[in-house]
Amino acid sequence: MAKERDLPVLTCTPSEFPRIFVGVSRTRLYEAIRTGEIKTIKDRKRRIIEIEEGKRWVRSLSPEARRHQVSSAA
């Protein structure tokens, strides 16, 4: 059986998302969740984002939006 840390990361929480997808603020993420731009999974009180969905959403951002996210994070 593989050790827990050897398994690939498949999901993250909204608070973990900005550490994985550098340049995306929590505020912008929650806005995207609220407007339906990014899909999440709700498990009781916990909200989960699949990493592949995060990648899809980040790729969907326009180059201008990506530049703005990075510059406002600095």
Quick one: residue 36, left, alpha or beta (phi over 0 = left, psi -120 to 50 = alpha)? Answer: left
Query: Which residues pair with residue 46 across a beta bridge?
Result: 43
Query: What does the alpha-carbon distance between residue 15 and residue 60 come to, in Å, rounded to a whole number?
Result: 21
Pairing of strands 11-12, 46-50: antiparallel
Per-residue pLDDT tens digits for 14-69? 999 999 999 899 999 999 999 999 999 999 999 999 999 999 999 998 776 555 55
Instruction: Specify which residues 49 forms β-bridges with.
Output: 12
pTM for the predicted model, two decimal places? 0.71
